[in-house]
Amino acid sequence: MQIYKVGGAVRDRLLGKPVTDIDWVVVGATAEEMLAKGFRPVGADFPVFLHPKSGEEYALARTERKSGRGYGGFTFHASPEVTLEEDLIRRDLTINAMAEDDQQNLTDPYHGQRDLDDRILRHVSPAFAEDPLRVLRVARFAARYAELGFKVAHETLELMRQLSESGELEALTAERSWKEISRALMESQPQVFIQVLRDCGALKVLMPEIDALFGVPQPEVHHPEIDSGIHTLSVLEQAALHQQPLTVRWACLLHDLGKGLTPEEEWPRHIAHEHKGLKLIKAVNERFKAPKDCQELALLVGQYHTHGHRALELKASTLLELLQSFDVYRRPQRFEEFIVACEMDARGRKGLEQRSYPQADYLRGAASAARGVAVQPLLERGFKGPELGEALKRERLKALKAYKESASS
């Protein structure tokens, strides 16, 4: 029995990055031998065991063969005869197909260290094209390591293109897709994830609503970058630069989908794109079964981001409607995330990345003014039920009018 550290732990050590998760491969052992040493089995499809003390995962060396469609369409074979090289060849990228023993002696049969040095994301073998999930994984790695100068190898991008055209991507489950998408959006350069998907034709399969934005112009006076798709990538880039949470990044990605529906004869204007985009945002949310908080914020940002930009011009009654839509009294954090999504939208424009956004503090002040209206005095005056709600609304409107006057003076 020989035990090797494999995959990301080896890759990240060689890159000088922190190693978080460690995967181990065991060569020359049987499941019975693992159980005898106190390992606990966890793998339903193939033999994976938890270490009796550390709890880390140890997998028996295995080979795999394509047996059906999609990510799960494989049969696995694990036995003491499977070599380390045979186990490594089934992995996606050369930089993930390295192993080291307890003396840090490197086993690198597919030249992963060379590709690390050359900053290349390259597939290990033609079997790469058998697993559609790898299209998303490679795009995610491109987003993670873009800051180090990594690029996808031309021949790997071609395999990804073939996968995108094969119909295999449609076999991916919503859960697997969302896991990769959500992780990619939280990388340091998530816009690279979207761009790589577009480069290989996967974006028009997985998210045609986003793909449709590229080539659609916007008024240059507001959008020096002009192209709606490029703007979306820039907004996502700003969200990452400002270390926004997943909810905000998802909303930033989907906020302008309505512009993809504007007839060409109306370009570069996009009248009512906010409302038109809601059905598209809803469709993308449902396709990937995004978490409820991501779904809700994306829809609200899509509908109201123009209100955010025009905050200083809004009437007190419109401000109140906006605040009510977000339920700022019980869910203040959601409105805060809306504000920062609007700010990322304003900054995601060529040459305007450092612009100030006074609307943010103005909206925060408006929310504070509305929340400052006390309920107790109204109860003491005898208001209850629907009448109490109406009275509260009147008092909040009065507070917002006073706030507007003080802010403009």
pLDDT tens column, 158-205: 999 999 999 999 999 999 999 999 999 999 999 999 999 999 999 999
Tell me, yes or no, whether 93 lies in a domain. Answer: yes
Tell me, yes or no, whether 347 lies in a domain. Answer: no
Residue 100, beta-bridge partner list: 5, 106
Tell me, yes or no, whether 70 lies in a domain. Answer: yes
| CATH classification at residue 7 | 3.30.460.10
Tell me, yes or no, whether 203 lies in a domain. Answer: no
Given 92, 110, 128, which residue is the final one in a domain?
110
Mean pLDDT of 359-366: 98
- Residue for token digits 């985009």? 277
pLDDT band at 236, cuts 50/70/90?
very high
3-state helix, strand and coil shares in percent for the chain, rounded to the nearest 5: 55, 10, 35
Give the ranges where 259-384 is alpha helix by DSSP (H): 273-276, 278-287, 292-309, 316-326, 332-347, 358-371, 376-380
Among residues of the chain, what percentage have pLDDT more than 70?
96
Tell me, yes or no, whether 12 lies in a domain. Answer: yes
Question: Does the pLDDT at position 144 exceed 60?
Answer: yes
Residue 304: CA count within 13 A, CB half-sphere = 26
Run of H or E residues at 2: strand 2-6
Tell me, yes or no, whether 37 lies in a domain. Answer: yes
Which of 90, 83, 104 minimizes the C-alpha distance to 9? 104
Question: Does the pLDDT at position 74 exceed 90?
Answer: no
Tell me, yes or no, whether 49 lies in a domain. Answer: yes
Q: What is the pTM of this model?
A: 0.92
Tell me, yes or no, whether 46 lies in a domain. Answer: yes
Given 61, 92, 110, which residue is the final one in a domain?
110
Mean pLDDT of 219-231: 94
- The DSSP symbol for 44 reads S
pLDDT of residue 75: 65
Structural tokens at position 321 = 């409607």
Q: How many domains does the chain have?
A: 2
CA gyration radius, the chain: 26
**Residue 395 structural domain:** 372-408
pLDDT of residue 242: 98
Given 57, 82, 110, which residue is the final one in a domain?
110
- The DSSP symbol for 258 reads G
Gap between the Cα atoms of 407 and 409, Å rounded: 6
Q: How does 279-306 read in b/e, with b if 16+ C-beta sit within 10 Å?
A: ebbbebbeebebeebbbbbbbbbbbbbe
Gap between the Cα atoms of 211 and 213, Å rounded: 5
Task: Work out the angle at residue 62's Cα, subtended by the Cα atoms of residues 202 and 16, and round it to the nearest 5 degrees.
Answer: 65
Mean pLDDT of 228-257: 98
Which of 198, 247, 218, 253 minimizes the C-alpha distance to 350? 218
Run of H or E residues at 137: helix 133-145
Mean pLDDT of 248-274: 97
pLDDT of residue 128: 92
pLDDT tens column, 87-119: 999 999 999 999 999 999 999 999 999 999 999
